[in-house]
Amino acid sequence: MARNAGDHTAHLTREQYRVTQQHGTEPPFSGEYNGFKGNGIFACVCCGQPLFSSETKYDSGSGWPSFYRPIDEQAVGVQADCSMGMRREEVHCSQCEAHLGHVFPDGPDPTGLRFCINSVSLDFKPTE
């Protein structure tokens, strides 16, 4: 069962809170991890759960960090998002329910998925 995200928000910046707790979106091409090339794990900025590996990160040209799969299928949840006059699939942390971004069916092989994630929703942990 997911824990309440409110238990994990005291350390967040105003922008991290707006995106993760109020389902906001950072402006395209503005995020710290959009063009980032480091090796490691991208974790939830709220609770620290590992979400994506740098091995699955790619440049989608969308303006947000993109991944073709989560580190574990159980790490993220997906639900319908009908805001902004369209239907999208929202991605959230399965542990604390923080909003991460959206997933689209236009990604590369092997999954065909594009997890389009806000940089401010992520905390990078480099591999040693």
Average pLDDT of span 51-80: 94
Is pTM beyond 0.85 here?
yes
82 annotated active-site:
no
Mean pLDDT of the chain: 90
Domain spans of the chain, in order of start: 5-126
Report the distance separating Cα 104 and Cα 118, nearest Å: 14
Q: Which of 44, 46, 96, 116 is catalytic?
A: 116
pLDDT at residue 109, rounded to an integer: 95
Output the CA–CA distances (angstroms, integers) from residue 24 to 21, 41, 70, in the order listed: 8, 23, 21
Task: For residue 55, report the phi and psi dihedrals to the nearest 5 degrees.
Answer: -65, -20
- Looking at domain 5-126, does it have CATH number 3.40.50.300? no
Query: Do 65 and 34 touch, CB atoms closer than 8 A?
Result: yes
